[in-house]
A and B are shown apart, each in its own frame.
Chain A
Amino acid sequence: MSVSLRVLDDGAWVSVNDAREVSVSELWRLDAPAFCGCDLPDFVVENVLSVGADGRTVSAKVYGQCIACGETGTPGWVPVGRLSDGEFTDIARERVVLPVRNDS
Chain B
Amino acid sequence: MPTDVERWKSEVYGNEIREHLFRFAEEGWDAIPDDERDAWFERFKWWGLYHQRNGQESYFMLRIGTPNGRLEPEQLRVVGEVAKEYATGPGTNPIFGDAYADFTTRQSIQLHWIKLEDVPDLFETLEANGLSAQQACGDSWRNIVGNPMAGDDAAEIIDAWPVIKELNETFKGNDDHSNLPRKWKVSVAGSADGSGQGDINDLALEPAYKEIDGERTVGFNVRVGGGLARNEERFARDIDVWVAPEDTAAVAGGLSALFRDYGDRENRYNARIKFLVDEWGPEKIRETLQSEYVDFELETAGEDVRDQYTYNAGGDGRNDLLGVHKQKDGKNFVGLNVLVGRMGADDVIELADLAETYGSGAARLTQRQNVIIPDIPDEKLDDFLAEDLLEHYSPDPSPFMRGSVACTGTEFCSLSIVETKNRQVRFARWLKENVELPSGVDAFHIHLSGCTASCAQPQIADVSLRGMKTRKNGDPVEALDIGLGGGLGEEPQFARWVTQRVPVDEVPGAIKNLLANFDDQSDEGETFREFVQRHDDDELAELVEPEETSYEDPMMHNTKRTWYPYAEEDSLDAGPAPTRADGTPITSGD
Contacts and interface: CB of A to CB of B under 8 A. Distances in A.
A84 B36 CA distance: 21
Q: Which of B36, B230, B469, B476 has the most CB of A within 10 A?
A: B469
A10 B38 contact: no
25 contacts: A6-B38, A8-B5, A8-B38, A10-B453, A11-B415, A12-B415, A13-B54, A17-B34, A17-B35, A18-B35, A18-B37, A20-B57, A20-B414, A23-B53, A23-B54, A24-B417, A25-B560, A27-B469, A27-B558, A46-B452, A47-B452, A49-B269, A65-B468, A70-B500, A70-B501
Contacts of A12: 53, 414-415
B537 interface: no
Given A44-B468, A70-B501, A27 B476 contact: yes
Q: Which of B42, B468, B479 has the most CB of A within 10 A?
A: B468
Contacts of A20: 54, 57, 414
Interface residues of A, number: 26
Contacts of B268: 10
Interface string B52-69: 011001000000000000
Given A44-B469, A67-B471, A70-B501, A11 B38 contact: no
A39 B500 CA distance: 21
Interface string A14-42: 01011110011101000000000000001
A26 to B, nearest CB: 8
B338 interface: no
Contacts of B476: 27
B417 A25 contact: yes
Interface in B1-52: 4-5, 34-38, 41-42
Contacts of A67: 468-471, 479, 501
Contacts of A13: 54, 414
A10 B37 CA distance: 16
Instruction: Please classify how large the interface on chain B is, using the bins under 10, 10 to 19, 20 to 34, 35 or more.
Output: 20 to 34
A18 B500 CA distance: 35
Contacts of B560: 23, 25
A89 interface: no
A54 interface: no
Of all A-B residue pairs in the complex, the 9 with the closest CB atoms, nearest first, are: A12-B414, A18-B37, A12-B415, A25-B417, A25-B560, A44-B469, A9-B414, A20-B54, A18-B38
Contact of B35 (A4, A42, A44): A4
B417 A11 contact: no
B414 A6 contact: no
A68 B452 CA distance: 19
Contact of A23 (B37, B414, B470): B414
Contacts of B410: 25
B457 interface: no
A49 B287 CA distance: 34
A24 B451 contact: yes
A97 to B, nearest CB: 16
